[in-house]
Each structure stands twice: as structure tokens, then as C-alpha cells.
Structure 1
């Protein structure tokens, strides 16, 4: 008879401990899970940004007859980058805000001259914006592509 009472008291003291253990381990599990999702989305956006800068550089090295209008060409390069980014970047909350810079080694673009396209994109965290935002804010993704006109 004594053994049963002792066991009953021991079980009553541990009542709810599984819930507390689950709450602690589930919190860590969800933070790890959402961190992996966030990291994979950031890597995907970096790859999409690299491809967008390549599309812009390809647009920049296309042959254009003289007289060349660099303002129109720059607009076409930026539009090619924005079109690609709108299709592939994962950004919630509207179109991506990118900073695009275009440099040319020679303004006349003879064969052998380079076009350098740099795209900077402030990546905003999607899954845990409040939690990660307190740790460091916005992550700056950047991609530079250099192509030679042939």
C-alpha cells in the first residue's frame, strides 16, 4: 500500500513537465526551421539578383548602330533587370527596390569594351522580420556582372 501512494505523489509532481519540455524544445525547433527557410530564400534571391545583373549586361553589350543614345540604352538595361527581378525575386510587399549602376569602359562601345552592371538589393527578412531585424536589420545583397562587347 505504501508504494502506491509514493508513486502517485511522484507522478503528481511531474504533471505538466512534458508540456514545459515541449514548449522549450519546440521553440528552438521552430527558430531553427524558420531560420533555414529564411536563409534559403536569401540564397535564392542572391542567385536571382546575379541572373538579373547578367540580363542587364547582355542588354548592354548588344550591337547598336551609331549614333548611340546612352540614356536610352541605360533605360533598356535597367528595364531588363527590373523585368527579371519582378519575375524571380521573392519579395513580399511590392516591387523590389534596387540600386542599379552601369559603367562602360568606352562610351562608343567598340568591340572589346566592357559593360559593368552592379545591382544592390536590400533584402528584407520575410519569415522572422521582427526577430532578425533586431539582430542586424537589412541584409545588403549585391551582384556585379562584367561583359565584353564583341
Structure 2
């Protein structure tokens, strides 16, 4: 009898010691799961923004190669290209920190005017700042430089 009572008390003590272990295990595994989940979401948004920048540079290049009668005003053409890029980016770019700060570069390999057969190169650079885990990713650099370049030939 005494032996059986000791055995039962030992089992009760063992159960009491293990009482909170499931909660601790869940807390550890849930933290890792959520970091992984938010990381997947974060990099998905970055890839979406990269595709958006590619489309925005394409829109700008298309605006730049459209036929315009001479004499051409290069600064007005550059402004139209930049405006097309910014309008597209504002509609589709995921940027929770306000308007997107993009660097837009317009190159004309054959000088200032684009004639039929000439190329127009439009480059859009965007410093993507991580949205969900900026402090965690900040230790890895914090900012991902996204860039898109489109070359189109005027017809």
C-alpha cells in the first residue's frame, strides 16, 4: 500500500512539473512560424514591387517613343515620361510609408532627340524598405534596392 501511494505521489509531482511545458513549446514554435510567415509575405511584396517597377519603366519608355512632331521639347518629353512612371507606380506600388521615392534616369544613346529607329532607355531605381519586420531585416541591411530598366526603339 505504502509503495503504491508513493508511486502515485511521484506521478502527481511529475505531472505538475510538466504542466506548462506545452505552452512554452507552443510559444517557441509559434514565434518561429510567424517569423517565417511574415518573411514570406515580405519578400512576396518585394517581388510584386519589382514587377510593378518593371511595368512602370515600360510605361515611361512607351510614352517616350510615341511620335511627336518636330521641334521636340526634351524637357517636356522627360517630364511626360516621369509623370507616366509616377502615375503607374502610385496606382500599383505597395509602399506604406507614403509616396514612393524613385530615381528615374532617361537615356537617349543618339543624343537629345529620338528619331525613328533610335533607342530610349528608361531606368527606375527604388529603395524598397521592409514593411513588416524592418528592425529584424535592418540587421541585414534594411533596404533592398530594386531597379528596372526598359529599352524601346522608336518606330
TM-score range, shorter chain: over 0.9
Maintained 8 Å contact 2:122/2:149? yes
Which sections of structure 1, spanning at least 5 residues, go unmatched? none
Name the SS of the counterpart of 2:67 in structure 1.
coil
Q: For the residues of structure 2 that align with 1:37 and 1:145, how far apart are their CA atoms?
A: 27
Query: TM-score, normalised to structure 2's length?
Result: 0.94
Name the SS of the counterpart of 2:139 in structure 1.
helix
Structure 1 segments of 4+ aligned residues over 6 angstroms from their partners: none
Deviations 1:58-98 (A, max 9, x none): 00000010000000000000000000000000001211000
Q: For the residues of structure 2 that align with 1:16 and 1:123, how far apart are their CA atoms?
A: 42
Give the counterpart of 1:131 among 132, 136, 154. Answer: 136
Structure number, greater radius of gyration? 2
Name the SS of the counterpart of 2:104 in structure 1.
strand
Maintained 8 Å contact 2:74/2:113? no
Structure 2 residue 40 is matched with structure 1 residue 58: no
Structure 2 residue 45 is matched with structure 1 residue 41: yes
Maintained 8 Å contact 2:135/2:142? no
* Equivalent residue number for residue 121 of structure 2: 116
1:1-150 alignment runs, 5 A limit? 1-106=5-110, 107-150=112-155
Kindly report the root-mean-square deviation, in angstroms, between the aligned alpha carbons of the 2 structures: 0.9
Q: For the residues of structure 2 that align with 1:125 and 1:72, how far apart are their CA atoms?
A: 34
Q: For the residues of structure 2 that align with 1:108 and 1:14, how far apart are their CA atoms?
A: 78
Name the SS of the counterpart of 1:116 in structure 2.
strand
